[in-house]
Amino acid sequence: MSDLLTVNGLSRRFSDGGLFRKRKVFHAVSDVSFTLKRGQILGVVGESGCGKSTLARLVLRLINPSAGQVQFDGVDMASLSRTDMRRLRQRMQLVFQDPYSAIDPRYSIRDALLEPYRVQGVKPKSTDDTVSSLLDMVGLNGSLAASYPHQLSGGQKQRVGIARALALNPSLVVLDEPTASLDVSVQAQIVSLLERLRQELGLTYLFISHDLGLVRYFCDQILVMYLGRIVEVLPSDAAPAHPYTRALLDSTFEPDPKRRRSITRLGGEIPSGYDLPPGCAFANRCPRVTDLCRRVLPTLTTQGSGHQAACHHPLAAVPEVVEQRSVA
Ligand SMILES: Nc1ncnc2c1ncn2[C@@H]1O[C@H](COP(=O)(O)OP(=O)(O)OP(=O)(O)O)[C@@H](O)[C@H]1O
């Protein structure tokens, strides 16, 4: 499988303050590198505020990086003119978390599905056929074309959001928490729809989620982020080597709330992105912390095949059984 997306040393800082207040710099994404192979699903997981959405926006070039490169299909996106970038956007699409705000309430479903063509200046052969085949592709009845968003359920709206993202035949789809606002039963239907579409259309996904359990089930490879940095890269069936990933996993899978070792029970304050410590950012919450962790920033080191962790004291590998994904 060839590489579709290569991200190298990507960073994004946001500045605060200015004229009358001292300028402060917030490190939202720091030195992120990864490769996504064609046809694969790469999960990006971490707690709220760890930089997942900023990473998605950087990959799609919706915002510019402070440092680093993104190569899409061998092309450095920074080298593209505005026109070439617009053309490339057809090949990389975003599905939002909130299907309610992703579709303009004044548009009929038909108009919402035709919007990507209008924006890109592309004229489909037959608009009626295009709309009905897009609805069919995501398992919706063609009669919904005349409906308006408020007449659809959350799951139906997310299906429209997915159909719209696929309208221009992209290669890469960035899914930013696409099931987070849906009921659990609807979540499962959307995940199995995404899996079917990936297989049928040969899509590549960057799947962003705060839910490590879902990511382990759905993705091939996982990036775990903490305060803007990658702390672990692991195949979805591998046991975590980083204590943070372990804590995320424990908080996800324990069904009994009394026994759940919640991530919040780790204690310790999460450092601010304005003032990151010199060593490991997880140090003051980590059960394995030593003085070395507080002083020296750990770099990603190999733990096994396709597995790296940025930890001075990684956990020993214990084989785990993960339920394999299947298409319903
Ligand atoms: N334009 C901006 N200006 C200043 N800070 C920003 C900006 N955009 C994002 N941030 C900050 O960067 C950090 C990372 O935000 P981001 O939305 O990428 O996190 P996230 O992991 O996607 O969180 P969530 O799961 O809550 O969406 C947050 O602390 C956020 O406040």
CA neighbor of 293 nearest in space, from 308, 281, 282, 280: 280
Residue 58 Cβ inside 6 Å of ligand 1? The answer reads no
Residue ID of nearest Cα to ligand 1 atom 17: 53
pTM (two decimals): 0.89
β-sheet with 41-45: strand ranges across: 92-95, 172-176, 204-209, 41-45, 221-226, 229-235, 307-309, 301-304
In 51-185, which ranges are E strands?
67-72, 75-76, 92-95, 172-176
pLDDT at 21: 72
* Complex ipTM value: 0.95
Residue 51 Cβ inside 6 Å of ligand 1? The answer reads yes
Residue ID of nearest Cα to ligand 1 atom 2: 14
- Alpha-carbon span 82 to 93, nearest angstrom: 17
Q: 37 with 187: CB under 8 angstroms? A: no
Half-sphere exposure of 256 (CA within 13 A, CB side): 2
Residue 52 Cβ inside 6 Å of ligand 1? The answer reads yes
Q: Using one digit for the tens of pLDDT, what is the confidence trace for 255-297?
A: 454 544 445 556 677 888 888 889 999 999 999 999 999 999 9
Q: 311 with 235: CB under 8 angstroms? A: no
Which ligand 1 atom sits closest to the C-alpha of 208? 22
Q: Ligand 1 centroid vs 244 CA: distance in angstroms? A: 20
C-alpha to C-alpha distances, 211 to 11, 18, 229, 279, nearest whole angstrom? 24, 37, 18, 26
Q: Using one digit for the tens of pLDDT, what is the confidence trace for 236-255?
A: 999 999 999 999 888 765 44
Which ligand 1 atom sits closest to the C-alpha of 54? 18
- Measured from the Cβ of residue 182, the count of other Cβ atoms closer than 10 Å reads 20
- Concatenate the DSSP letters of all residues of 82-98 into one string: HHHHHHHHTTEEEE-S-
Per-residue pLDDT of the chain (328 residues; tens, 9 = 90+): 899 999 999 999 998 866 667 778 899 999 999 999 999 999 999 988 899 999 999 999 999 999 999 999 999 999 999 889 988 989 999 998 877 777 888 999 999 999 999 988 888 889 999 999 999 999 999 999 999 999 999 999 999 999 999 999 999 999 999 988 888 889 999 999 999 999 999 999 999 998 888 899 999 999 999 999 999 999 999 999 999 999 988 876 544 545 444 455 566 778 888 888 899 999 999 999 999 999 999 999 999 999 999 999 999 865 555 555 554 4
**Averaged pLDDT score across all residues of the chain:** 89
310, two tokens: 């940025």
pLDDT at 239: 93
pLDDT at 328: 43
